[in-house]
Structure 1
Amino acid sequence: MYATNNSRTLKYTRVSTTEQNDARQLNEDMPMLSDKCSGSIPFREREKGSIVLEMAQERNLDALHVQSIDRLGRNTLDIMQTIQELTDLGVNVVSEKEGLQTLINGKENPVSKLIINILATLSEFELNRIKERQAEGIAEAKKRGAYNTNGGKPAETIEQFLSKKGNAKCFKLLKTGTSVRTASKLAEISTGTSQKISKMIKDGLI
């Protein structure tokens, strides 16, 4: 069981990757547990999230503070199940950004429950929109020839590729009917690059 310096109030933070900084979520007035993981991972499957639930089940936690509701997750059902489980165990979940708490004088706060449900839904909706925008961006980059499917990293554009002296010369030679092998020798580039340019011509990309 996690030691909290005799405090029964805990701050929980989450950042998406190990590179991100959770300084804005810090609160020096209380102990803190922090996960570095995707918000899509269920709360109980997170290393520190499972500890929070264990503390609640052992009746060693009275209040759990989070900077905002989306720190608990990005899936509406998971967020609501986590909050309901904590609330049923007598833990007051306090969202600092939204100014909400699930318990008032030991009783469940119905208004807070409704607002949290709305916020959780909006958080999940925004996550889906981010994924859609990423997919649209990748599709657009592929059309421009600026996306490399090998590892998903951006590659040079067709214009940048053809701006290279050897590639430009090879392109002109191939357009006049010169063979791939001869064009590669005359342009002083590899046969593989010459074949790539030839395919781009056939595919109508250039």
Structure 2
Amino acid sequence: MKILKYNQLDQSSDLNINKPRLSVLPNGDQILNITDICSKTLPFKKRENYKIISQMVEKNQMDIIIFPSLNKLGYNKLDILKTIKEFDDKGVNVCFKKENINTKNDDKSSNTVIYSILNFLISLFQNEDEIRKERQKDGIEKARLKGNYKKVGGKKPRLSIDQFFNKPKNSFCLEELKKGNSIRKSAINSDISAAQALKVKKFAEASGRL
């Protein structure tokens, strides 16, 4: 029997973990371990090792594919069901250990009952994810109203010239420059970088402050 054990990890320190690894059990069963390092939200068919798995299924080189759980196959309900049906139609038994699901019966016929169960479980996963996102949005909104929320990433809004010079360190640097100090000395005295002091000088000259 040829078995494929698949896993998905968000990250790993093992640089070779995404390379297929074959082992043979004492009874002769072959187990191919495949791991993708990617986001669990990435559709299964867009993952690095999907092509290898698909080709093996097409060539009837795989009897069973074992997933740790349903969410390792992705988040999109339609994509998951299509992938499961695709493998099932090729005679592969798709197993999910956590949910104790097998798409084939003992006589290797397709388990028609399983699709209703899969629909329920996948909907449950997606609902949980939507609830989590809603709670996150509510938390951000509450923090924003309290003035505690700072958005991570993205471009910072541009400051006007007046806003730029209203910053204490920039204002102090300007006064140092007006005294005739060098950019380097003005930067040191103002506790800012030389690059920032140069920016202060350029902005001051452009706005007639220096």
TM class by smaller structure: 0.5 to 0.7
**Are residues 125 and 20 of structure 1, via their aligned partners in 2, closer, same or farther at CA, if it must alter by over 3 Å?**
farther
Counterpart position of 1:137 = 139
Aligned to 1:68: 69
CA drift at 1:101 = 0.3
User: In structure 2, what is the Cα distance between the partners aligned to 1:20 and 1:134?
Assistant: 29
Q: Summarize the Cα distance change of 1:87–1:20 in structure 2 as closer, same or farther, 3 Å threshold.
A: farther
Identify the residue that residue 11 of structure 1 maps to in structure 2.
Answer: 5
Distance 1:50 1:147 in 2: 43
Structure 1 residues 57-96: aligned runs within 5 Å: 57-96=58-97
Q: Could you tell me which residue of structure 2 aligns to residue 50 of structure 1?
A: 51
Identify unmatched segments of 5+ residues in structure 2: 18-22, 26-30, 155-162, 172-210
Distance in 2 (alpha carbons) for counterparts of 1:39 and 1:123? 12
Which whole-Å CA distance do the structure 1 matches of 2:129 and 2:113 have between them?
A: 25
Distance 1:134-1:19 versus aligned 2 partners, 3 A rule: farther
Distance 1:20 1:139 in 2: 36
SS for the counterpart of 1:79 is helix
Distance 1:130 1:51 in 2: 34
Shift of 1:77: 0.6
Q: Contact 1:74 / 1:127 at 8 angstroms: preserved in 2?
A: no
TM-score, structure 2 normalization: 0.62
d(CA) in 2 for partners of 1:76, 1:190? 54
- Aligned partners of 1:41, 1:150: CA distance in 2, in Å? 22
Give yes or no for contact 1:11–1:65 (8 Å, CA) kept in 2: yes
Residue 91 of structure 2 aligns to a residue in which SS? Answer: coil
Percent identity between the aligned chains? 33
Instruction: Quickly say closer, same or farther: Cα 1:107–1:38, change in 2 above 3 A.
Output: same
Tell me by how many angstroms 1:190 deviates.
Answer: 3.2
Q: Distance in 2 between matches of 1:142 and 1:61?
A: 52
2:149 & 2:170 partners in 1: Cα distance? Answer: 23
Counting only pairs closer than 5 Å after superposition, residues 34-49 of structure 1 correspond to structure 2 as 34-49=35-50
SS in 2 for 1:10: strand
Q: What residue identity is the alignment partner of 1:144?
A: K
The higher radius of gyration belongs to 2
TM-score (norm 1): 0.63
Deviations 1:5-30 (A, max 9, x none): xx620111112x215999xxxxx873
Counterpart CA distance in 2 for 1:32 and 1:56 is 15
What one-letter code is carried by the residue in structure 2 that aligns with 1:90? G
SS in structure 2 of the partner of residue 32 of structure 1: strand
Partner deviation per Cα, 1:130-167 (whole Å, 9 max, x = no partner): 22222222222222222222418xxxxxxxxxxxxxxx
1:190 corresponds in structure 2 to 169
| Alignment coverage as a number of residue pairs | 150
Higher mean alpha-carbon deviation, 79-88 vs 37-46, is at: 37-46
Decide whether aligned partners of structure 1 residues 150 and 98 sit closer, same or farther in structure 2, where only a CA change above 3 A counts.
closer
Write the letter of the residue equivalent to 2:3.
T
Matches of 2:73 and 2:111, distance apart in 1: 18
**Offset, 1:39:** 2.4
Letter in 1 for 2:68: Q
Change (3 A) 1:111 1:60: same
Which ranges of structure 1 fall in alignment gaps of 5 or more residues? 1-6, 23-27, 153-179, 193-206
